[in-house]
């Protein structure tokens, strides 16, 4: 059992150690400590990833699902010229992406690349939408397969799902030069839609894509109805059974 004098020595030693820690350790800590930031390349503070989530403005891509490509398709609109369309879904209801890089690729019957078109697309929150590229030159080669893919990581931003545009009717006339008229209503209470891309997609009895076309809604006020017009330069390759209009409002 330690004597009283030994216990006193231990006490003095302990007090000395505490003093050293307080006198030296704390100043060194405060001189060298760097508070967490959203640009220090580390996961710290309230962050849910490296410089993302928590108190950071940047959202963590890993917390959200990637946009899904439902299908991609191209059609001949003139000699050696094709238009391409991709039907995509953002399954995330609360985020959007202002600009996401993508690539359309057109291949011939031998699987050889005929043409590639790259671009940037707006990804709306929680909806299906279309991405379009027109005037793709193919020369004398005929593409038989079209692929679409995103070629960079997504930078998500907080948003809400936008709705309000509804297709009331679609009147389609087939023939040597098909045309369609679609009546569209803005059912929102206070939102004015402007510069909205509108696509019509035509399907056959097996739900295969026959054709598509694009137009723009310049301005549509709340409660207003407008008629959209779509045309094609030549007859469809089959009989149209179903059609739908897709809106992309930024």
pTM of the predicted protein model: 0.77
Give the Cα separation of 113 and 46 in Å (integer): 47
Whether 49 is covered by a domain: the verdict is: no
CB atoms within 10 A of CB 87: 21
> What pLDDT sits at residue 13?
60
Mean pLDDT value across residues 125-150: 95
Q: Which domain holds residue 197?
A: 165-248
Q: Are 226 and 220 in contact (CB under 8 A)?
A: yes
Q: What is the pLDDT of residues 146-197, one digit of tens each?
A: 999 999 889 999 987 777 899 999 999 999 999 999 999 999 988 999 999 9
Query: What's the mean pLDDT when you consider all of the chain?
Result: 87
pLDDT score of 21 more than 60: no
Using the 3D structure, point to which of 94, 124, 158 is the last residue of a domain.
Answer: 158
Claim to verify: residue 143 and residue 189 sit in the same structural domain: no
Claim to verify: residue 153 and residue 226 sit in the same structural domain: no
Q: Are 164 and 203 in contact (CB under 8 A)?
A: no
CB atoms within 10 A of CB 93: 11
In Å, what is the CA distance from 186 to each residue of 77, 123, 224, 243?
31, 21, 6, 20
């Amino acid at each position: 059992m330690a004597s009283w004098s030994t216990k006193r020595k231990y006490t003095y030693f302990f007090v000395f150690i505490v003093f050293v820690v307080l006198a030296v350790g704390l100043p060194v800590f405060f001189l060298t400590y760097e508070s967490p930031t959203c640009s220090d390349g580390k996961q710290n503070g309230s962050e849910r990833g490296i410089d993302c989530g928590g108190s950071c403005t940047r959202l963590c891509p890993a917390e959200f699902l990637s946009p899904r490509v439902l299908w991609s398709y191209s059609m001949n609109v003139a000699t050696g010229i094709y238009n391409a369309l991709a039907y995509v879904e953002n399954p995330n209801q609360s985020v959007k992406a202002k600009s996401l890089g993508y690539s359309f690729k057109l291949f011939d019957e031998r699987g050889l690349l005929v043409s590639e078109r790259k671009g940037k697309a707006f990804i709306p929150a929680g909806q299906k939408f279309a991405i379009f590229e027109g005037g793709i030159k193919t020369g004398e080669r005929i593409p038989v397969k079209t692929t679409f893919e995103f070629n960079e990581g997504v930078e998500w931003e907080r948003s809400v799902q936008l709705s309000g545009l509804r297709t009331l009717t679609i009147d389609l006339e087939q023939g040597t030069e098909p045309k369609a008229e679609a009546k569209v209503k803005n059912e929102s209470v206070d939102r004015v839609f402007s510069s909205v891309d509108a696509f019509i997609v035509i399907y056959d009895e097996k739900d295969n894509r026959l054709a598509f076309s694009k137009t723009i809604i310049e301005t549509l006020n709340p409660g207003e109805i407008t008629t959209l017009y779509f045309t094609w330069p030549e007859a469809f390759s089959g009989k149209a059974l179903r059609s739908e209009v897709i809106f992309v409002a930024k």
